[in-house]
């Protein structure tokens, strides 16, 4: 923040001295959508037409020219976002923002994300490498030929972008794999809880664990050591799961063809993680969501096939407690004797401070995670370190190959063939085609364990829990044209109890999937009905749990009024209604009442709404209603009354005592925080895209929050960042929207022009010939080769 403030004061001073000149300078950072540019690196003219939403329609003569154009466009609209994400992935954040970035840099250098991204480039096919090369050339062409200023963030931090390289694109996949596979943090939390309260408590507090499966801690360092490791980790890159995807055959639709709906859920930041684009070449017809920094369409359709994704929750990370060789601290013990650590030495440059030397050690299982903090270099007993086994940490990561080929698949067989190259993160990839087929596969490297199930850290020196390989492609969960005529996944388990392999235990609560299935069973659906389902706000969790909570006997007028309102509630998380706020605040307080006394300092990391766990306590485990901190034995009826009173007091302090005038939207708004400007009061208003929203953590229209945040426990920080409905009877009729806008530049009219439309469930098509687009008055940018091709 020190460097941000220096940049802010510099810009403010310049603006005061020459306000018009300063404003004009910053506005020159906006691209010219209607121009003609000659560039080196393309073989023929590329026509780029922007529609009313600033979505580019790219018409190119070759695939390489199209990828070049995508690099050029991403740099035009999202350069700062690209620059920041590659800095994070490379472990080079601190050299830009100072000491506050050191924690992430230590973690990324320890994981070796950028080094692995560089190495994986060589494992890709020639065609895919050429695509990355062309994309990088397009980014660099914009950097070298831009006529105006850089985006304003570069001036605030007084930094400049470096030339783009293919590894800068590939590292994004490593970041997403880390974010969507971060269950090692849960392993540490689970280990802490088991050590404090026992295995029975873990089984209650983590109900995704299969019934009857024990939680095996095995031999491990003292609990204090693992707790310190958990505390030393930087905050997660983002929430680890959630998304909705479903597909319905023509028999269940009104369109005459299959329908596929997808809305992936990630952090609601500005700009959005996704960027909409259309690409047409003689061999490509791609429409959908791209990621700035990456040349390919991650979600979309290709004229014949459409696909979407949700997170599987597969357990692809294990923590191995390694025993140091007592005779030689540079070695560790294995079943075959002592082995040396593989050692890498890294230097972290820190802006405004001295460089930090980091020694990274690796074992046969993976990098030593406990080396991220010097105090944890050896654990409390000086005899152990903790290594992370993570399926994504491989030089042979060919996930980009899978995405490249997926966009070219014309049928299910080719689609499966593409996804055999998928490594990480494990996703549920849903499929639909113009011939009426629907399918789903969960591709990726899912480990096969010699023993155990990855629930907690295990000893690494015995070999008993080692990974023996990965599930073969043919064993991965997959289905084509199920008898029901529909496929639904909302992060619920992708396989049933008869599936012979262990996938994982991080499935989220089933309420969204229950609601989607409930609605789909009720008649046939078209585009409008599918769009309405994506925006559905009925909370099945509230419908399931609230009757148990309403057994409370209120002892004051405010509590009685709250109960009256909740008894008449429709269970819709409507931003204009008081009931969602009362219910959510009550459930939040009830979690604190039930679990804070047992978990002690661990509670903050566990705190959530957790309706399934609360239901289990109120029905089967009422002993958890007793407060350990008191001499008497409390009942669940008492704790319901106490927590309701606490919730109403907290609501009253912030929103007033008139319950009927409360609005869920007062507490539940999406802030769309900007990584930099939202932290600076002078600039915050420039990027304020905050908007009240419907939904909640367990509705199809998901609005998740950080419940333990005392200042804004219900802020909508995680949800749908992209929505698409693919109409396989007419793919040009497919609908799309992203959460903010196409541009990442706060001075652009397209920085936040989609926010309200996104909130209200609006969407638009991305189609049209060049003639049709020109007739609509859309701006056209033409990229010409620097040298004209000689005529034959």
The total number of residues written for the chain in this structure = 792
Summarize pLDDT for 141-170 with one digit per residue, the tens: 999 999 889 999 999 899 999 999 999 999
Q: Are 705 and 719 in contact (CB under 8 A)?
A: no
| Nearest Cα to Cα of residue 751 among 681, 692, 693, 677 | 677
Q: Is 675 helix (H, G, I), strand (E, B) or coil?
A: coil
Do you find a cis peptide bond into 425, omega within 30 degrees of 0? yes
User: Rounded distance, CA 652 to CA 750, Å?
Assistant: 38
pLDDT digits (tens, 9 = 90+) for 90-133: 999 999 999 999 999 999 999 999 999 999 999 999 999 999 99
Tokens of 219: 């031999």
| Residue that has been written with the tokens 């660099």 in this structure | 140
Contacts of 656 (CB under 8 A, 6+ apart): 662
Q: How crowded is residue 166: how many other Cβ atoms within 10 Å of its Cβ?
A: 22
How many other CB atoms sit within 10 Å of the CB of residue 781? 22
DSSP structure string for 474-488: GGS-EEES-TTSEEE
* Mean per-residue pLDDT, 278-293: 98
Answer yes or no: is pLDDT of 374 > 70. Answer: no
> Per-residue pLDDT for 224 more than 90?
no
How is residue 751 written in tokens? 């920085």
DSSP letter for 464, please: T
User: What would the DSSP string read from start to end of 239-282?
Assistant: ----EEEEEE-GGGBSSSS-EEEEEEEEE-EES-S-EEEEEE-S
Residues 6+ apart with CB under 8 A from 36: 781, 782, 784
Q: Check whether 686 has a pLDDT greater than 70.
A: yes
**Whole-prediction pTM value?**
0.93
Q: Which residue's entry shows tokens 């940018």?
A: 781
8 A C-beta contact, residue 708 and residue 688: no
Above 50 in pLDDT, residue 213? Answer: no
C-alpha span between 503 and 453 (Å, rounded):
9
**Helix pair angle (579-599, 611-619), 10° resolution:** 70
Report percent pLDDT > 70 for the chain. Answer: 90
Pick left, alpha or beta for residue 357 (phi over 0 → left; psi -120 to 50 → alpha; otherwise beta). Answer: beta
Could you tell me which residue, 776 or 790, shows the higher pLDDT? Answer: 776
- Between 63-90 and 113-121, two packed helices, what is the crossing angle to 10 degrees? 160
Q: Which of the given ranges, 162-166, 180-184, 510-514, has the highest pLDDT on average?
A: 162-166
Whether the upstream peptide bond of residue 271 has omega within 30° of 0, thus cis, is yes
pLDDT on residue 277: 98
Render pLDDT for 463-487 as a digit per residue (tens, 0 to 9). 999 999 999 999 999 999 999 999 9
Average pLDDT over the chain reads: 91
User: Parallel, antiparallel, or unpaired: how do β-strands 458-459 and 317-323 relate?
Assistant: parallel
Dihedrals phi, psi of 507, to nearest 5 degrees: -60, 140
Mean pLDDT, residues 768-775 taken together: 91
Give how far the C-alpha of residue 766 lies from the chain's centroid of Cα atoms, to the nearest Å.
Answer: 24
How far is the C-alpha of 29 from the C-alpha of 77, rounded, in Å?
A: 9
Q: Give the burial string for 486-517 (b: 16+ CB within 10 Å, else e).
A: bbbbbbbbbeeeeeeebbbbbbbbbbbbbbbb
Locate tokens 């693992």: which residue?
226
283, two tokens: 């061999």
More confidently predicted of 453 and 735: 735
Q: What 3 state SS string does 576-607 have?
A: CCCHHHHHHHHHHHHHHHHHHHHHHHHHHHHC
Residues near 394 by beta carbon (within 8 Å), at least 6 away in sequence = 116, 120, 423, 445
CA 610 to chain centre: 20
First CA to last CA across the chain, in angstroms?
59
Which string of DSSP letters, residue by residue, matches 307-353? EEEEE-----EEEEEEEBPTT-TTEEEETTEEEEPEEEEEEE--TTS
pLDDT of amino acid 214: 25
Residues 6+ apart with CB under 8 A from 1: 100, 679
Summarize the confidence of residues 753-758 as an average pLDDT: 98
pLDDT of residue 182: 65
Residue 216: predicted pLDDT:
22
* Inter-residue contact 670 to 659 (CB < 8 Å): no
**Least confident piece of the model among 161-175, 289-303, 775-789:** 775-789
In this prediction, residue 382 carries a pLDDT of: 73
Mean predicted confidence (pLDDT) in 36-60:
97
747 backbone dihedrals φ, ψ, rounded to 5°: -85, -10
Whether the CB-CB separation of 398 and 365 falls below 8 Å is answered with no
Q: Is the dihedral of CA 36, 37, 38, 40 positive or negative?
A: negative
Cβ contacts of residue 402 below 8 Å, gap of 6+? 418, 419, 420, 421, 422, 423, 443
Query: Which residue in the block uniquely carries the two structure tokens 């429409």?
Result: 287
Q: How confident is the model at residue 231 (pLDDT cuts 50, 70, 90)?
A: low
CA distance 753 to 272: 12
The neighbour count for residue 68, using CB atoms within 10 Å, is 30
Torsion of Cα atoms, 593 then 594 then 595 then 598, to 10°: 100
Helices (H), 656-750: 664-667, 681-684
Percent of the chain residues past pLDDT 90, beyond the cut: 78
Q: Is 191 exposed, middle or buried (0-12, 13-18, 19+ CB in 10 A)?
A: buried
Q: Tokens at residue 423, please? A: 């490594």
What does DSSP assign to residue 151? P
């Amino acid at each position: 923040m020190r460097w941000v403030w220096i940049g802010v004061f510099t810009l403010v001073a310049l603006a005061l001295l020459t306000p018009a000149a300063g404003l004009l300078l910053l506005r020159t950072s906006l691209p010219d959508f209607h121009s003609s540019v000659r560039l080196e690196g393309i073989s023929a003219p590329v026509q780029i037409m922007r529609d009313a939403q600033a979505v580019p329609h790219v018409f190119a003569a070759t695939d390489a020219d199209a990828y070049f154009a995508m690099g050029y466009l991403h740099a035009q609209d999202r350069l700062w976002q690209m620059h920041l994400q590659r800095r994070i992935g490379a472990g080079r954040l601190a050299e830009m923002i100072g000491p506050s970035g050191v924690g992430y840099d230590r973690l990324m250098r320890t994981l070796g994300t950028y080094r692995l991204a560089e190495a994986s480039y060589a494992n890709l096919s020639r065609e895919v490498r050429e695509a990355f090369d062309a994309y990088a050339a397009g980014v660099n062409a914009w950097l070298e030929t831009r006529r105006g200023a850089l985006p304003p963030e570069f001036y605030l931090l007084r930094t400049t972008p470096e030339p783009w390289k293919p590894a800068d694109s590939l590292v994004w996949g490593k970041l997403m794999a880390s974010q969507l596979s971060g269950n090692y943090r849960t392993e540490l939390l689970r280990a802490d809880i088991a050590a404090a309260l026992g295995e029975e408590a873990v089984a209650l507090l983590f109900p995704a664990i299969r019934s009857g499966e024990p939680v095996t801690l095995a031999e491990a360092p003292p609990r204090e050591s693992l707790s310190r490791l958990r505390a030393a980790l930087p905050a997660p890159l983002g929430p680890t799961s959630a998304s909705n995807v479903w597909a319905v055959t023509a028999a269940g639709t009104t369109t005459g063809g299959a329908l596929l709906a997808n809305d992936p859920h990630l952090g609601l930041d500005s700009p959005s993680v996704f960027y909409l684009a259309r690409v047409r070449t003689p061999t490509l017809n791609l429409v959908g969501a791209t990621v700035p920094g990456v040349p390919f369409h991650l979600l979309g359709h290709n004229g014949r096939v459409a696909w979407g994704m949700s997170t599987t929750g597969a357990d692809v990370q294990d923590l191995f407690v390694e025993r140091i060789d007592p005779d030689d601290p540079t070695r560790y013990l294995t079943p075959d004797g002592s082995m040396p650590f593989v050692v890498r030495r890294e230097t972290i440059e820190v802006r405004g401070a001295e460089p930090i030397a980091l020694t990274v050690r690796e074992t046969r299982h993976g990098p030593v995670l406990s080396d991220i903090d010097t105090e944890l270099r050896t654990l409390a007993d000086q005899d152990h370190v903790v290594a992370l086994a993570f399926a994504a940490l491989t030089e042979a990561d060919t996930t980009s190959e899978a995405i490249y080929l997926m966009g070219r698949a014309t049928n299910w067989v080719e689609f499966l063939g593409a996804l055999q190259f998928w490594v990480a993160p494990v996703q549920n990839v849903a499929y639909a085609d113009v011939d009426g087929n629907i399918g789903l596969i969960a591709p990726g490297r899912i480990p096969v364990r010699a023993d155990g199930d990855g629930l907690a850290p295990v000893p690494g020196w015995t070999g008993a829990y080692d990974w023996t390989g990965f599930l073969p492609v043919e064993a991965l969960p997959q289905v084509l044209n199920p008898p029901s005529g529909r496929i639904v996944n909302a992060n619920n388990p992708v396989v049933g109890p008869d599936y012979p392999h262990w996938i994982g235990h991080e499935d989220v609560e089933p309420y969204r999937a229950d609601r989607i299935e409930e609605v789909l069973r009720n008649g046939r659906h078209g585009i409008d009905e599918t769009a309405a389902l994506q925006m559905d706000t009925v909370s099945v969790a509230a419908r399931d749990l609230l009757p148990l909570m309403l057994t409370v006997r209120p002892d004051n007028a405010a509590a009685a009024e709250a109960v009256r309102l909740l008894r008449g509630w429709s269970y819709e998380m409507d931003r204009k209604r008081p009931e969602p706020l009362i219910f959510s605040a009550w459930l939040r307080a009830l979690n604190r009442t039930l679990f804070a006394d047992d978990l002690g300092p661990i509670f903050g990391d566990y705190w959530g709404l957790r309706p399934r766990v609360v239901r289990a306590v109120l029905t089967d485990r009422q002993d958890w209603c007793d407060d350990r901190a008191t001499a008497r034995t409390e009942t669940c009826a008492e704790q319901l009354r106490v927590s309701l009173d606490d919730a109403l007091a907290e609501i009253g302090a912030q929103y007033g005592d008139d319950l009927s005038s409360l609005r869920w939207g007062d507490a539940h708004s999406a802030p769309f925080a900007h990584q930099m400007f939202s932290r600076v009061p002078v600039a915050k208003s420039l990027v304020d895209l905050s908007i009240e929203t419907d939904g909640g953590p367990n509705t199809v229209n998901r609005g998740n929050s950080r419940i333990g945040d005392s200042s804004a426990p219900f802020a909508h920080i995680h949800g749908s960042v992209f929505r698409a409905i693919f109409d396989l009877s007419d793919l040009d009729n497919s609908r799309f929207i992203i959460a903010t806008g196409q541009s990442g530049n706060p001075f652009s009219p397209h920085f936040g022009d989609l926010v309200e439309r996104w909130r209200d469930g609006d969407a638009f098509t991305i189609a049209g010939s060049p003639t049709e687009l020109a007739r609509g008055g859309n701006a056209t940018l033409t990229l010409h080769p620097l040298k004209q091709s000689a005529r034959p």
